[in-house]
Amino acid sequence: MTTIYDVAKLARVSAKTVSRVLNESHLVAEETRQRVLEAIEKLDYHPNVIAASLKRNRSNMIGFVVPYGSEFVFQDPNMMEQLRGTHDYVSAAGFELIVSVPRHKEDALQEALRLTKNRNVDGVILYPSYGIDQIIKEFQAKNLRYVTLGICFDQQKSNFVEVDQTPGSYFATQHLISLGHRRIGLLNKSASFFMYNRNDLLEGYVQALKEAGIAYIPSLVREGNFTFEDGYEQFMSLYKEHPDITAVICASDPMTYGLIRAIFDLGLNLDDIQVVAGDNLPLTQKLFPHLSSITNPSYEQGRQAGRMIVSIVNEGRGEVPGIILNTEFVARSMHSVVNR
Amino acid sequence: MTTIYDVAKLARVSAKTVSRVLNESHLVAEETRQRVLEAIEKLDYHPNVIAASLKRNRSNMIGFVVPYGSEFVFQDPNMMEQLRGTHDYVSAAGFELIVSVPRHKEDALQEALRLTKNRNVDGVILYPSYGIDQIIKEFQAKNLRYVTLGICFDQQKSNFVEVDQTPGSYFATQHLISLGHRRIGLLNKSASFFMYNRNDLLEGYVQALKEAGIAYIPSLVREGNFTFEDGYEQFMSLYKEHPDITAVICASDPMTYGLIRAIFDLGLNLDDIQVVAGDNLPLTQKLFPHLSSITNPSYEQGRQAGRMIVSIVNEGRGEVPGIILNTEFVARSMHSVVNR
DNA sequence: TTGAAAGCGCTAACAC
DNA sequence: GTGTTAGCGCTTTCAA
């Protein structure tokens, strides 16, 4: 196996000079540099990054740790968008991305700690889930690098990238009201996903209703865990209780698919119930091009988390201010109630 | 930072004994072992995997390298299923998984070589794409570890996990024929995806037609790159040329979605055109529960590739026999032509 | 069953 | 602009 010393010998310089050419070329005389580069080329030399990592105490790897199990993660298009955003940023910044989905979701946080403490990675991106406040305290106490996708605990001021869904649901509700809808359902995310966060989707919905002078009826709001199945079942139950419902806003695209399937199974179609999709994913736009949608900046969220962890690692900072991204609303349909 | 020496000192043993407790506990007296474990606990010691990697010349990381760009990869449900299969196997075997999607697809193979030569990873899982024969030769010459998802070149006998799509398309075609269909379209994968492989989807289709005494009409077969857009456009063009078509078989689920969208946009529905989906992905089953489908063992393919690369790395073998997985066909619909 | 010493391949200090 | 020396934290002879 060819090492830096083989290159040094062939180029008639010291190992350190080879190292300089590799890492800080500008500190080396051009002539020497060329000789070294030739030797590298001739020997097909590839620096051993593991050795460099040991010396530098830096692995140039970032961990992406998610709970919920692999069948959820890799099949959830939003999580894939987040992962994609992180991958793109982090790899452009010269880091490798380690994706880790622990077997049991309870292990996720320990896994993140393990990756970091073992110096496998320079920092991790994490999902808030049960028990994370303790883990974050440990990260902070030990000065380990982390960023969370969402807020972990009350008063958290730093190291998070959150999405505020208030604007999306507010404008969606407003739009539906302007089309004449009065009985508007909301398939909300479930309370267990809020962590210490406010119930933003509901807030936007309630505010828009209030401004229009429409009574807020709690039973028009159902909760689910972002899945197809929840979307299906919650709408079935919602429709049973409120057969006069004319529009529904969804918290996620998978829920939207479940809702649409339920609509078809009830013998209805998308003209009977006005649906607002939850994420505005490419696939949803293609499959159901006429659906209005809340947009969810998943890719950007992952990307920002990547940017944040890279800057934390590169600049040695322990904390950087948290970021809040906003949802938007895209109107695509003009079906009003009276037109039906 | 606490090292193995700190633990050794506290436990009043040598560093090597601590190392033994960590790696080969059985060679240490139980009493000593307990003392060491206590010290590890007390100091919250976490072995530095980078240092161990350097010494062992083994990183315990596997690379998963794909061409096509991140917006394709992370949005393609089949690739995610493969990734999931690889992740699950590889992480259960004690490896970390590095996911790498080069910016430009032309860089993918160099990226795989780089990861391996730099000792970032112990082995890589690769997609065959243009120019891979050369790269594989380099892997073989330098005795580097790799597995390909599909066959790279003529006569390749080892280190691949391939899927043979003949059975799926054969049974799908047979099924449609038994329902009375005679004009059956095939939205095939494009020739550039075959590599040195045979055109298996077409083979199964042609054979079933032949056995039923139905003429094979080449213009009923269209090609696409597995995408929604290709499914949409190819069916539009197919239907224009063959308005008497009554059934279509798809090479992938994304193409199936495009096809279905095209059917709707033409003012037809799923009773007019009998559709056979391409992959039998969970989402497809949920969205279109009545669709018959070819099954594509993507998860298993990824898993087997993981198993293969792990055994290559662990047992130091350069080559293991290739594996060929089969597609199947799941009949879910009984719409015959005469019933319409 | 345990330990001492050497060294994996690189880079940071410090010389020159 | 370049080289020498030491050492990152672990594991591997080899000896006791």
Per-residue pLDDT of A210-233, as tens digits, reads 999 999 999 999 999 889 999 999
Q: Out of A230-239, B153-162, B254-263, pick the least confident.
A: B153-162
Is residue A83 pLDDT above 50, yes or no?
yes
Inter-chain touch A46–B87, beta carbons under 8 Å: no
Of B54, B70, B92, the CB nearest to A51: B54
Cβ atoms within 10 Å, residue A15 = 14
Residue A23: predicted pLDDT: 87
How far apart are alpha carbons A183 and A205 in whole angstroms? 12
Q: How confident is the model at residue B241 (pLDDT cuts 50, 70, 90)?
A: very high
How far apart are alpha carbons B14 and B111 in whole angstroms? 41
Residue A340: predicted pLDDT: 46
Dihedral over alpha carbons B331, B332, B335, B337 (to 10 degrees): -20
**pLDDT higher at B307 or A337:** B307
Inter-chain touch B96–A120, beta carbons under 8 Å: yes
Residues from chain A that touch B100, judged by Cβ atoms under 8 A, are 91, 96-97
- Among B59, B99, B125, B290, most A C-beta atoms within 10 A, so best to mutate, is B99
Is residue B276 pLDDT above 80, yes or no?
yes
Mean pLDDT of A22-27: 84
Is residue A67 pLDDT above 90, yes or no?
no
Of B49, B84, B287, the CB nearest to A74: B84
Mean of pLDDT over chain B: 92
Domains in chain A: ranges and CATH: 4-47 (1.10.260.40), 61-163+299-324 (3.40.50.2300), 164-297 (3.40.50.2300)
Residue A104: predicted pLDDT: 83
Strands B161-164 and B123-126: unpaired
Q: Which nucleotides of C are covered by protein (CB under 7 A)?
A: 1-5, 7-13
Is residue B339 pLDDT above 70, yes or no?
no
Determine if the pTM surpasses 0.85.
Answer: yes
Two tokens at B40? 């590890």
What digits encode the pLDDT tens for the residues B290-321? 999 999 999 999 999 999 999 999 998 888 99
Is residue B51 pLDDT above 50, yes or no?
yes
> Between A and B, how many CB-CB pairs are < 8 A?
119
Q: Cβ of A27 < 7 Å from strand C?
A: no
Residue A106: predicted pLDDT: 81
Mean pLDDT of B19-29: 85
Q: How confident is the model at residue B340 (pLDDT cuts 50, 70, 90)?
A: very low
Mean pLDDT of B260-271: 95
Is residue A31 pLDDT above 90, yes or no?
no
Which residues is B164 bridged to in the sheet? B326
Mean of pLDDT over chain A: 92
Mean pLDDT of A140-147: 92
How far apart are alpha carbons B66 and B99 in whole angstroms? 8
Residue A164: predicted pLDDT: 94
B59 closest CA partner among B16, B1, B13, B118: B118
Q: Cβ of B58 < 7 Å from strand D?
A: no
Count of alpha carbons within 13 Å of B263, Cβ hemisphere only?
20
Residue A322, classed as helix, strand or coil, is: coil
Is residue A101 pLDDT above 80, yes or no?
yes
